[in-house]
Chains A and B, each alone.
Chain A
């Protein structure tokens, strides 16, 4: 019988314990080194991990051209402006107000982003709006601009002016283009007639990218960030356990199962940290507008990537073959995307589906990223802690799975 004699050092710690700990750390470091060596030798995985994400950002930035290149927007202007007269006691009173409708039409003509297809005087043609709507339905025009009744009166007397805009919303990708084009005409109108700050454009959208930023790129990043970071980290890790054939042989050395798994988590977390840095750098370089803190955005993306790693390693640990891992990933990814709220709002789903969506990563990822990018929210919140909780559960399940996994050489 071998008996271990314990020796305590000067501060009373068992030296054999220190030695064991040192050995464990040394083994862990060696496993991490091995993971990096394997990753280094796998050029495709390295490409997916570090080169692909910034490339996707660059691709999106390049293809998300600003609206100026796809315009002009065809419009109809309906003016209800009683600019030069009004009725009082059945008498027409001629006013001395300036005709701001004509001035606005001049601005439209000056704008290279708008093409005036038709002008209707709403005060004379009561079917003007109906006709304009028919034109929009037939695709002849893309936007209806309505000038209100007291437009000239208000502007002449120093009151605020307002123009209503009804864009064709059948194609969600172009709504902002139309609004921006109208905004441009108003900018010209304001400048030509010295109306600033009297004339304002009413903003109907909750979030708008400041002028000077590529809005289409910025809008797409809200969806792309969580989707890309989560997807790529999951893809990177779904095979790390199942395809490593020498694991059973490694278990015939003093290496423990949990050490193998920890080394994989550490390696891919380091890669993730670098990956997020590259993603953010390329996104900022391409004009990413962040209403909140960039550090918060980094943490949020890191969290999303980490849950991707946790899911990937979990799938890899429970799968028996590479094919099984790929199929499991595909099935999980479809469910995650469908229930993420990208297609159907989560709140409108049946309660049991909402419960499933609650534990899925992208359901929390998009609101979290949107909050930071567009509203300046902090990363710390319900979504962050939900993701953290799901990660912890997945990590726990992965360790449980590898502990029970049958390995034989």
Chain B
């Protein structure tokens, strides 16, 4: 299995800009991925996640992009490098039907894809046996047509296909989409297990925030711009009080009551996370928590429960995107004001 030097740069992207005609879809994106890391690329639909991966996986012609991009030290800008890059990477598409021949068995699928890399039947079966064992794919299903397998099993076979040629990097497009909520954690834990046992660098494109649990670093994209790229704990630590939050359940919660909480001076951010639940971020959390409780009582807000927690990546993402939207709105309003003044 792949044995990468941990300091080795597997993906190096510098000032990537992607254009389709007059339409620019990626703006000055730069990041690096080291060997053995799991990177999560998060963003809502249309953020540009897939476009970046398509550049990295040689799917977008060089005429559409500029910038310095290297994948396993080879530039996708040169067509000559494509075969080598494609041999060094694995890809697991979002939809299994794009990766699997449902009419064939898991083993036949493995053999088909392995042979495209020049891997013989015997070796392919040996690697597949190891992978299926890590991925808990029952042996009695290996030779059955895939159409008879469950969705989760298909997803795992799909991952095994991505790894059959022991690639240095595995790109996974929405690996948990379409999987039952209960099985999502299974898929993520399998990926982590593979990463630990095989040392494969993984690159996840997803809008499932739970995937951040297994990621060493996360990138947040919005409208083709990379807002952040760092370790999750580093990102969360930029929140007020290092991401400490108070979760309040308030009876008959409405916008007016949220605004009352916002008026409390130390409060920096209030996020509604449920019908009657808000999460409150504030400066000097430990000292101000009691004051916040007193404030809610003074303002006659009926708080039925309160807890203290650390912010998860999901919350960071939400706050970061909201901040960006607010900035844009402010910018747009000031520009409209200036235009009307002129």
Contacts and interface: CB of A to CB of B under 8 A. Distances in A.
B59 interface: yes
Contact of A252 (B57, B112, B145): B57
B83 A254 contact: yes
B145 A41 contact: yes
Interface in B95-114: 97-101, 103-104, 108, 111-113
Interface in B116-153: 116-118, 145
Contacts of B58: 252
Contacts of A408: 54, 59
**By CB atoms of chain B within 10 A, which of A26, A27, A29, A34 has the most?**
A34
Interface string A244-270: 011011101111000000000000000
B74 interface: yes
Given A30-B112, A252-B86, A246 B101 contact: yes
A409 interface: yes
B203 interface: no
A124 interface: no
Contacts of A23: 118
A2 interface: yes
Interface size class of B (residues with CB under 8 A): 20 to 34
B45 to A, nearest CB: 15
A37 interface: yes
A252 B103 contact: no
A38 interface: yes
Contact of B117 (A29, A42, A254): A254
A268 to B, nearest CB: 17
B interface secondary structure, majority: mixed
Contact of B112 (A37, A42, A245): A37
Interface in A1-49: 2, 23, 26-27, 29-31, 33-34, 37-38, 41-42
A23 B84 CA distance: 13
Interface in B264-287: none
A254 B116 contact: yes
A31 B116 CA distance: 8
B87 interface: yes
B115 interface: yes
A409 B100 CA distance: 13
A29 B73 CA distance: 31
Contacts of A41: 103-104, 145
A248 B73 CA distance: 24
A156 B47 CA distance: 104
A167 to B, nearest CB: 55
Contacts of B83: 254
Interface string B82-97: 0110110101010001
A408 B74 CA distance: 21
Interface string A291-314: 000000000000000000000000
B37 interface: no
Contact of B116 (A42, A255, A409): A255
A203 B100 CA distance: 64
A254 B99 CA distance: 15
Contacts of A253: 86-87, 113, 116-117, 165
A287 B118 CA distance: 49
A257 to B, nearest CB: 12
Contacts of A34: 101, 112
Given A27-B116, A253-B116, A254-B86, A409 B104 contact: no
Given A246-B101, A253-B86, A254-B117, A2 B59 contact: no
Nearest to A27: B116
A253 B112 CA distance: 11
A38 B101 contact: yes
Interface in B223-258: none
B90 to A, nearest CB: 8
Given A41-B104, A254-B83, A409-B59, A26 B91 contact: no
A254 B87 contact: yes
Contact of A246 (B84, B99, B145): B99
Nearest to B164: A253
B308 to A, nearest CB: 44
Given A33-B112, A37-B112, A252 B91 contact: yes
Contacts of A42: 103
A96 B74 CA distance: 110
Contacts of B84: 2
Nearest to B112: A34
Nearest to B83: A254
Contacts of B86: 252-254
Contact of A409 (B117, B118, B145, B173): B173
Which of A26, A30, A42 has most chain B Cβ within 10 Å? A30
A33 B117 CA distance: 15
A37 B102 CA distance: 12
Contacts of B93: 248-249, 409
Nearest to A252: B91
A26 B103 contact: no
A248 B91 CA distance: 11
Nearest to B58: A252
B118 A27 contact: yes
Shortest 5 CB-CB contacts between residues of A and residues of B: A30-B115, A41-B103, A253-B116, A409-B93, A34-B112
Given A27-B118, A37-B104, 5 more contacts: A38-B101, A42-B103, A246-B100, A250-B116, A253-B116
22 contacts: A2-B73, A2-B81, A27-B116, A33-B112, A37-B101, A37-B112, A38-B104, A248-B93, A249-B93, A249-B98, A249-B99, A250-B113, A252-B58, A252-B89, A252-B91, A253-B116, A253-B165, A254-B86, A254-B87, A254-B117, A408-B54, A409-B91
